[in-house]
Amino acid sequence: MAKKLMKGAEAIGEAAIRAGCRHYFGYPITPQSEIAEYLSRRMPEVGGVFLQAESEVAASNMLFGAAATGTRVMTSSSSPGISLMAEAFSYMVGAEVPAVVVNAMRGGPGLGGILPSQSDYFQATKANGHGDVHFIVLAPASLQESVEHVMMAFPLAEKYRNPVMIVADGLVVQMMESVDFDIVETTDPPDVEDWAATGTKGRRERNLVKSLFLDPLGLEEHNRKLRRKYDEMEENEVRYEEVLIEDDTKLVAVAYGTTSRVVRSVVEELRGEGYPVGLFRPITLYPFAYDRLREISKRDSVKGFMSIEMSTGQMIYDVRLAVQDLKPVGFFGRQGGIIPTPDDVRKAMLQELEKLGG
């Protein structure tokens, strides 16, 4: 199929269908209700199920129920709704079920606002629920990448039997770009008979999908098993992109999602003018590219880093963890749903460059 011009929310919904997802449970919330609207039309066309729940709490527990049968299933929401889903997310990690969640981040805290934001970074990467919980977190910067992330999220979730989250800020979901669905390979769902609640059919012992382990040693063992999965994710699933990080690069900006697009244009412009700057773009926020950033930080040419975010500074903690005290890490951010302009970013980066001695 040729490239198609689509709105973000619709492209995300269509990508789920192309990936073989036939079940969606959700609850409307700005700025991503169009995902639900699109799937309410599209799911019946492909024999799938669209169900509007009474709340995000219910939607996420429907997600859990469907996932417990090994069904490819997705939900989507935005920041306040994701907070409500955190309970089910924790149960799903504990019970080891695969599912895909899209968070179109908007400004917080509380009801906050409805414009694009990146202020759920902590929640997505460190606190998707109580307990020792991690999701693989993908952060697309374009619609094409959103499509690719949604489509690869299902097999990734199935590989680890763990939910995968796509954090697309409100801008990615609302804008229009051209997308090509055909460049992503689709996969068949794996056999789930060894764990899923599908009815024994007289063929096997019954399956139990649960997260309760009353025996402390049993729970510790379960947590260690989950930790081994996180270790595997950290070993195998780190994704990032480097833009103009060259032998002479002095200042490395670190940005993801929508912000990275602004930073990329500024970095390219500054490079054109001879400034030694580059961009490091994490694609997976969890697992985070600690090792690669640390390697870069060891270069003599690199004098400093700068985390640029639509928050008051969340990813910067991971950048600092990677860089440790080897090099300074500056910050520039906008909040409240304001996307930093190229001018904002240019000024901030030039100031930072000056601090590092030009």
Partner 1 sequence: MVTIFTRPDSMFDTPTHYCPGCTHGVAHRLVAEVIDELGIKDKTVGVAPVGCAVLIYNYMNTDFVEGSHGRAPASATGIKRSRPDLVVYTYQGDGDLASIGAAEIVHAANRGEKITVVFINNAIYGMTGGQMAPTTLPGQKTTTSPKGRDVNHIGYPIRMAELLATLKTPGYIVRSSLHDPYHIAMAKKAIKQAFIYQLEGKAFSMVELLSTCPTNWGMTPYQATQWLKENMLQYYPLGVFKTPEDE
Q: Could you give the CA distance from residue 136 to residue 172 in angstroms, rounded to a whole number?
A: 19
CB closer to partner 1 out of 17 and 348: 17
CB closer to partner 1 out of 52 and 187: 52
CB closer to partner 1 out of 59 and 285: 59
Residue 95 token pair: 């019970």
User: What DSSP letter does each residue of 244-309 carry, written as one string?
Assistant: S--TT--EEEE--HHHHHHHHHHHHHHHHTT--EEEEEESEEES--HHHHHHHHTSSS--EEEEEE
Query: Could you tell me how far CA 98 lies from the centroid of its own chain?
Result: 15
CB closer to partner 1 out of 210 and 228: 210
Please report the sign of the dihedral spanned by the C-alpha atoms of residue 7, residue 5, residue 340, residue 258. positive
Cα separations (Å) of 302 from 32, 242, 245, 305?
Answer: 39, 14, 9, 8
CB of 73 vs partner 1, minimal distance in Å: 7
Applying CB under 8 A, which part among 105-113, 116-124, 141-149, 204-212 lies near partner 1? 204-212
Reported as type and span, the H/E element at residue 333 is strand 329-333
CB of 90 vs partner 1, minimal distance in Å: 8
CB closer to partner 1 out of 205 and 300: 205
CB of 63 vs partner 1, minimal distance in Å: 6
Out of 78, 207, 284, 307, which residue is the one contacting partner 1 (CB under 8 A)?
A: 207
CB of 79 vs partner 1, minimal distance in Å: 21
To which residue do tokens 């669209």 refer? 50
CB closer to partner 1 out of 67 and 277: 67
Reported as type and span, the H/E element at residue 265 is helix 257-272
Out of 62, 152, 166, 251, which residue is the one contacting partner 1 (CB under 8 A)?
A: 62
335 φ, ψ (degrees, to nearest 5): -130, 180
Show the binding pattern over residues 261-300: x = contacts partner 1 (CB under 8 A), - = does not: ----------------------------------------
Q: Is 353 helix (H, G, I), strand (E, B) or coil?
A: helix
Reported as type and span, the H/E element at residue 25 is strand 23-26
> Any contact of residue 23 with partner 1 (CB under 8 A)?
yes
Chain positions 66 to 105 lying near partner 1, rule: CB under 8 A, are 66-69, 71, 73, 87-88, 91, 95
Return residues touching partner 1 (CB under 8 A).
23, 25, 49, 51, 53-55, 57-59, 61-69, 71, 73, 87-88, 91, 95, 197-202, 206-212
